[in-house]
Amino acid sequence: GVLDVLVNNAGIGLSGSFFDTTTEDWRTVLDVNLWGVIHGCRLFGARMAERGQGGHIVNIASAAAYQPSRILPAYSTSKAAVLMLSECLRAELASRSIGVTAICPGIVNTGITSTARFAGVDAEEESRRRKNSARLYGLRNYPPEKVASAVLDAIADNKPLVPVTPESRVAHALSRVLPGALRRLARVEPKV
Residues 6+ apart with CB under 8 A from 54: 48, 96, 97, 98, 99
- 160, 101 contact by CB (below 8 A): yes
The catalytic position among 66, 75, 137, 142 is 75
Strand partners, 117: 14
Q: What is Dmax (Cα atoms) for the chain?
A: 53
Which has the closest alpha carbon to 105: 158, 143, 157, 153?
143
Q: What helix, strand, coil percent values describe the chain, rounded to 5? A: 60, 10, 30
66 is catalytic: no
Helix, strand or coil, per DSSP, at residue 157:
helix
Rounded Cα gap, residues 166 and 106, in angstroms: 8
β-pairing verdict for 5-8 and 55-60:
parallel
- Active-site residues, by number, are 75
